Structure 1
């Protein structure tokens, strides 16, 4: 078989990246999805790259945030629904404010309902309750909270820490993402009953950085 020409290689690489990327479906039928992705964000890193510049309340040291709940996302085996049309009432201000302790801000709680919760088929109160339950069931590695200085480390170290703290998981259950050279998120794939399940191929791709930045708790 003839090898692809040098001119074709970038195009083929671009095509492979497109095929591997998650596909967002604007809309979708509420409750029609395959599994959940529970996304946990390392707050100090988000603050260093984004939150500090925004003056986010989440980044105030008095909150002592480590892994916060970014969201619980309905997921297809390939791609995911978003911004679904639902007959469920939007959450109240009090409801979103109550999620601030695990999500950092009420604004994030509102955004997660609007983009992902509407596709869950649940009421806002039930969606937030399920999100909190999923978050509480994860053993977040205590060792990472003891780091007292900025580090550079392989992203695989973070995955290994989660697997050690959650022995019922497999490598296909959790993936670590990076952004702008920082560890960004730990994403855990869960059934509707919140049991660990293998992630789809567009979710399971791990960050491969060997020197990802990791900031300590503030």
Structure 2
């Protein structure tokens, strides 16, 4: 009788532990997939934020306005900071290039599907509204995504105004999408290996992002230097094939 009670107690304890482990694992996976906010201390910060970051597309001869185009899909583009800082004239004066950053968000772009080869990028919506400078609290909240006040303002006016009404909504969507992507920690190793290329970079993302398919990622390299990695979304912000 005593042996049976001990046996039943052991079975009860083991079963309880298994249930605890299973429930704990489920909770962990659910929380991991939930929206994660970029921590305000997750990156270097300037001692004083810039105040002269307003943007006017008419002052750039290469810019254009297109308010008549439809939005067919979205593209989230991540810039590889070491390449950006190594190739831009006077980039050492930029806060981003004075500190160690890996991938930073270049922008989230409402885009139109091209219907023919060689079609101009001017078909995409762009510079839909002239907006005042982004509020300082928004700059500070999302600075770790785009460590440049000017870049944030540029991207908001060039692209964000063509779909969103407020900069807070634009950057919150960027933050949400970015938080869903696991960033590989072996990019430098791949780039330092001359026998590896863009396929290895793309595979490194797929290895740790099972929700992504090969054709849903674009890797842009020039002369074996990584420039950007982009992800494409439909109008419901589900991953789709990059066009």
Q: TM-score scaled to structure 2, two decimals? A: 0.63
2:84 maps to 1:49: no
Report the counterpart of residue 14 of structure 2 in structure 1.
Answer: none
Give how far 1:90 is off.
5.1
Say which SS state the counterpart of residue 72 (structure 1) adopts: strand
Aligned pairs for 1:35-74 (under 5 A) are: 35-50=73-88, 53-61=91-99, 64-74=100-110
Report the counterpart of residue 31 of structure 2 in structure 1.
Answer: none
Give how far 1:162 is off.
1.3
Q: Which has the higher Rg, Structure 1 or Structure 2?
A: 2
Aligned pairs for 1:13-162 (under 5 A) are: 26-29=65-68, 32-50=70-88, 53-61=91-99, 64-78=100-114, 79-85=123-129, 91-144=134-187, 147=189, 150-152=192-194, 153-162=196-205
In structure 1, which of residues 158, 164, 168 is the aligned counterpart of residue 207 of structure 2? 164
Report the counterpart of residue 211 of structure 1 in structure 2.
Answer: none
Say which SS state the counterpart of residue 103 (structure 1) adopts: coil
Give the number of the structure whose residues are more often strand, by fraction: 1
Extract unaligned runs of 5+ from structure 2. Answer: 1-62, 115-122
Name the CA distance, whole Å, in 1 between partners of 2:132 and 2:103.
Answer: 29
Q: TM-score scaled to structure 1, two decimals? A: 0.69
Superposition RMSD in Å = 2.6
Name the CA distance, whole Å, in 2 between partners of 1:156 and 1:177.
Answer: 11
Extract unaligned runs of 5+ from structure 1. Answer: 1-23, 201-218
Change in 2 beyond 3 A, CA 1:181/1:36: same
Larger RCO (CA under 8 A, 6+ residues apart): 1
Structure 1 segments, 4+ long, off by >6 Å, are: none
Name the CA distance, whole Å, in 2 between partners of 1:175 and 1:167.
Answer: 16
Say which SS state the counterpart of residue 213 (structure 2) adopts: coil
